Amino acid sequence: MRCPDRNNPALLPVAGALALFVAAGAPGASAADFAPMGSVGILSFKVTAKAAGQVKGKGGADWDRQEWQMDNSGQLAIRLKALEPNLDDSRDNMGKAGAVKEAYDKTFSEKDQEIQEKWEDKIDACDGNEACENRVRGQMLSDPQYQRMIRKAQGAGPDIMASAKAVDLQPRIQMWVTDAQEASPARGSVQVNLAEKTYGVIDTAGGGKVDISCQWTGKLDIAPGSPDSKVGAELRVNTRTSTFEIRIPANRFGAATKESCSDSKTGSHGPSKNTRKVPLIGQVPARGAANFDQVLTFKGKLGSARSPQLRGKETLTTDLGDANNPAASRPVKVTIEWQFAAGGR
């Protein structure tokens, strides 16, 4: 029986109990059909983000009206790798695990748990070598301390065994994530184009009001090894519910631009030293969303867990944001066409 995920301590006592029940003659759980650990998949997505609107200056403003228009796009791909499958962490399964933990703690002492973990570590050290694992298991079953634990498991009664077997200890969840050791998991390009025109701006030098137009355009080509190439993404596969969740990191991209302005009195202002990073999909999520995770995590039905082939088209609203007027909403319509294909390189 394979050891459970060590990052899920609530399930460890249950796994320990069931490992003893297996040794005592109870059946064990089998692994689900997931992608082999380290398998590669490519998440690719195309993004368009458009915004247009206007707002009137409120009392006390030094301008009358402002218009804006944004037309951004991006084509991106991110390389993901499959992690080792994990156990079912649903609320129902964790609730069952909690009940078993209580009974387990009454049956086995801390010393017993140390013995159990010692043998689990030795089996893990075999690194999948079947002959090694069989040899270690033989030593484990000959250990008087472990034999005493088996007798405890046999005498624990049908209730604790039934409760423990009700907990799903089969692998159910697999994460596909960006490899932290990989220098350049992301590639692609981003184009941004933002224009603003402000009417009736008070000329501080005198002479009445003036209309000012500014534009920010730029392109980002994501080069290997650049900071922009290290953006991560993740896919969560759940075979218990036959569903997936995928997080598209479209909010992590943007392009640096130089400002280009002109006004209705003097014309072009000439080359500017002012720079601005224009985000691909806007500065903040739409009103009512706590963060970008809420609006950029998409769910759906899963086909094959061993070789996921997924795609979707999502439309959502974000906000361009306005540093000079944080209360003003400047909605952005974002369209994302994405696909994930296991088996890439």
pLDDT tens digits, 193-228:
999 999 999 887 777 899 999 999 999 999 888 888
Closest CA to 40 of 85, 84, 81: 81
pLDDT tens digits, 163-183:
777 888 788 999 999 987 787
**Tokens representing 132?**
């090694």
Rounded CA-CA distance 61/63 in Å is 5
Instruction: Give backbone dihedrals phi and psi of 273, rounded to 5 degrees, phi first.
Output: -90, -5
Closest CA to 280 of 249, 258, 259, 311: 249
In angstroms, the Cα distances linking 43 to 75, 249, 291 are 11, 11, 22
Rounded CA-CA distance 115/210 in Å is 81
Rounded CA-CA distance 58/64 in Å is 8
- Of 31-35, 123-127, 184-188, 333-337, highest mean pLDDT: 333-337
**3-class DSSP state of 255:** strand
- Of 80-89, 201-210, 230-239, 333-342, highest mean pLDDT: 333-342
**Tokens representing 123?**
């089996």
Residue 324 pLDDT: 58
pLDDT tops 50 at residue 3 = no
Asked if residues 209 and 64 have their Cβ atoms less than 8 Å apart, the reply is: yes
Average pLDDT on 335-342 reads 97
Closest CA to 115 of 157, 146, 150: 146
Rounded CA-CA distance 113/12 in Å is 10
Residue 322 pLDDT: 67
pLDDT tops 50 at residue 9 = no
Q: Angle 207-210-216 (CA atoms, 0-180°, nearest 5)? A: 145
pLDDT tens digits, 38-73:
999 999 999 999 999 998 888 778 889 999 999 999
Closest CA to 330 of 339, 322, 338: 322
